[in-house]
Chains A and B, each alone.
Chain A
Amino acid sequence: MISMQLLTSGVIFGLSLGSIFFLMTIGLSLCFGLMRIISLDQLLYYSVGAYITFSVSALLGNIWLGVLAGAIVAGASALVVERIVFRRIYDRDLPFTMITSFGVLIGGVGVIKYFWGLVPRPVGEPIVARVDILGTDIPVYRLVIVAIAALVYIGIWLFLNRTIIGKAIRAGTEDVEHVEGLGINVYRLFTITFVIAGALSGLAGGLYAPLIMVDPNMGLDVLAFVFMVVIIGGLGSIKGTLISSFLVGQVVSIGSLVYAPLAQMAPFAIMLLILLIKPTGLFGSQMLKR
């Protein structure tokens, strides 16, 4: 059997992984909810965040500044893409926007290869301290990631429930035409949501960079996990995204302790099982307007 120590570190590892998944998928979920698009290019902003973290931290020597810059640049690239590409195609069918976003993703990977080359780049860990939890040595940085994800969740919750823009986004998730009918510029809401999503994906990339190697295909590497999270949780549901992020995080982490290939296969099996019972995921809504 697995020792207690392995299990504890596995759970913590799963929590931090789940946090990264959550940061990446919450944007996807918001975009789907409000704009009814599946924005595969979020995976690009994730890579952008990681690469900017790499470059800025190499330049300034401070990884936290790098992460911050990563999130900002990711948000800015999301803004550019939204203005040039998505603004024109919001009213098209879902497959249409999805294909387009895949084009952005692939093209963006090409841009990254152009600037940074093919060689994987390392990013140092900003916190090297370790802490003892239940007799297990745990890197503090992983706990910090979990804390940051928790803060982001609280921040998003406050934004959606306490600010008028957030309320308009919630209303738009239900029926975007009615929001427009009130006289609210929904395209501005779209832009705001898209930029927030991009920045959060960039934050995820920046935070995850020290734990992996930064390489051009890193977005494509997590692609399967991100979509399994989104599908299990149900498209457009923030609560579902939160729950399934941590579920998949744990399954990957604990699963790989038991038998390495389980890390990839187990979430997929769970996804198929959930779809068998509920074809729209745990918290996805049955109806889809537009």
Chain B
Amino acid sequence: MTNTDDILTVSGLNVAYGESKALFDIAMDVRACQVVACVGRNGAGKSTLLKSIAGFLKPTSGTIISDGASLVGMSAFAVAGKGIKYIPQDKKVFSDLTVQENLELGSYASQDYDWAPVFDYFPKLKILIDRKAGHLSGGERQMLMIGRAILGGPKLLLVDEPTEGLAPSIVMHLRDVFKELAKKTALVVVEQNLPLVCAIADKVYALKEGRIMAELTGRASITPEACEQYL
């Protein structure tokens, strides 16, 4: 069942917040350099899924395997240390620290001090390097969060609603960045913006009320209409 190309295999995953269950028997797999999108309404469990993979939530049952090792029960920092980086939805950078210090923390965590790729993707960050991160705009914060996460060349990025509340031009920019990133790393993107999903995704999981309702594979089958019917 487990494909050797898979860098992430989730099966039978159940997650609960106290008494209330949030995810039911989730099964998914992600291959190297694949862009996987999760779509679904608010409360469908998309963010819960990402947080569980990233180690912030402890599943009640099920397995999460990456490169032959189980991630269940690992601390979040250890998961990140394995090259699986989670970029949360809240666009909260460390506002009291400068852009440079934010990047330094990413470098410290991954022991990768080469910032050139970050500035290639986001030249704007170079200009803002001494700015306090708290003074950045929403789009710039998102850039910083992605920039921070790609240091160390992660094998999988878990991105939670990256374009929520951002201007269309920045969404376009991020779309190009994701396409570029996908050449080297796999992505799991939770996204409400269906045109963006269709532009970048190789595979789509549609979630509803904590269950995977459908799996769309192949560029041809991923259309806004196809995604829409599961929302």
Contact = CB atoms under 8 A, between A and B. Distances in A.
B92 A180 contact: no
Interface string A152-196: 000000000000100110110111011111111111000000000
B172 to A, nearest CB: 26
A171 B107 CA distance: 14
Interface string B67-81: 000000001111011
Nearest to B83: A183
A168 to B, nearest CB: 6
Given A167-B104, A168-B108, A180 B76 contact: yes
Contact of B77 (A173, A174, A175, A183): A183
A182 B97 contact: no
Among A164, A174, A183: residue with most chain B CB under 10 A: A183
A185 B75 CA distance: 9
A173 B97 CA distance: 11
B94 A177 contact: no
Given A164-B104, A181-B85, A171 B97 contact: yes
Interface in B86-100: 86-88, 92, 94-97
Given A171-B94, A171-B97, A175-B92, A182 B104 contact: no
B55 to A, nearest CB: 8
Contacts of A179: 94, 105
A113 B75 CA distance: 40
A252 to B, nearest CB: 32
A188 B88 CA distance: 22
A174 B95 contact: yes
Among B56, B81, B94, B110: residue with most chain A CB under 10 A: B94
Interface in A177-233: 177-187
A170 B105 CA distance: 11
A173 B108 CA distance: 17
Contact of A178 (B88, B96, B101, B110): B88
Given A167-B101, A177-B56, A184 B94 contact: no
A99 to B, nearest CB: 22
Nearest to A289: B92
Contacts of A187: 75
B108 A184 contact: yes
* Chain A interface bracket (under 10, 10 to 19, 20 to 34, 35 or more): 10 to 19
B148 A182 contact: yes
B222 interface: no
A175 B101 CA distance: 15
A183 B88 contact: no
Interface string B32-66: 00000000000000000000001010000000000
A177 B76 contact: yes
A186 B78 CA distance: 10
B28 interface: no
A172 to B, nearest CB: 9
Given A168-B108, A187-B75, 13 more contacts: A164-B105, A164-B108, A170-B96, A171-B105, A180-B75, A180-B76, A181-B54, A181-B87, A181-B88, A182-B80, A182-B106, A183-B110, A184-B105
The 9 closest A-B pairs by CB, nearest first: A183-B80, A183-B109, A171-B94, A182-B109, A180-B76, A184-B109, A180-B77, A183-B81, A164-B108
Interface of B: 54, 56, 75-78, 80-81, 85-88, 92, 94-97, 101-102, 104-106, 108-110, 148-149, 152
21 contacts: A164-B105, A164-B108, A167-B105, A170-B94, A174-B95, A174-B96, A175-B94, A177-B56, A178-B92, A178-B94, A181-B80, A182-B77, A182-B85, A182-B106, A182-B110, A182-B148, A183-B77, A183-B152, A184-B109, A185-B77, A185-B78
